[in-house]
Amino acid sequence: MTERSNSTIILIVIILIVASVLFYSYFMGQLLWGIIVAVMIILIAGMLLFLPIIADPLSSSYYRGNEKSESFGIESTCLGDSRVYERPFFFIGVPLIMIAFGGVFSKYESIFSIAYESGTTLVLYHGLCFVSKDDKLSIRGKWYRGKKLGIQGNIVVADRVENLSSGIVFARQ
């Protein structure tokens, strides 16, 4: 299923839930409370649907229009060690001022730079990818211009990184 069809299914489920809340509250004589609950459901669902677009601009269809090509593969030299960080992407729980009851789920992402076409290019890999300075790399992924993200130069969102120096392959299925 595509991201767009998932959003459509979620939207239909939300509409059915809101309609059933309003229908139930109308017949129970509590229409005002039903309207308040329906508005809260719509606000929470709207935040959950649009939060990934705000949090990860490279995954949004707005940014995808600026790709140089669909997919490509290059061989290059790494200019520095990769940095691996944990990025929170989903929260379930109840936030109370500074304390939250629930859980934060996160993903690992790796970032490093490579020498490409007499310049540097930033490589983002969604997952763990350990590379060191001066490693020879073969990278496959999508190419983006960095101006919309405030980066001078280009960005590669890698699907596959092969470290030719050590023989380790990092690939997303």
In this predicted model, what pLDDT tens digit does every residue of 81-105 receive, in sequence order?
Answer: 999 988 877 767 666 665 556 667 7
Q: pTM (2 decimals)?
A: 0.58
- The number of distinct structural domains making up the chain is 2
* Residue-wise pLDDT tens digits, 32-41: 888 888 888 8
Domain range for 153: 67-171
Local structure of residue 58 (DSSP, 8 states):
G
Single out the residue of 113, 108, 119, 116 nearest to residue 132, CA to CA. 113
Are 36 and 112 contained in the same domain?
no
CATH number at residue 115: 2.40.50
Q: Is residue 61 domain-resident?
A: no
Are 34 and 119 contained in the same domain?
no
Are 130 and 154 contained in the same domain?
yes
Are 51 and 89 contained in the same domain?
no
Are 101 and 141 contained in the same domain?
yes
62 pLDDT higher than 50:
no
State the average pLDDT over residues 112-124.
Answer: 85
Q: Give the DSSP letter string of 133-161.
A: TT-EEEEEEEEEESGGGT-SSEEEEEEEE
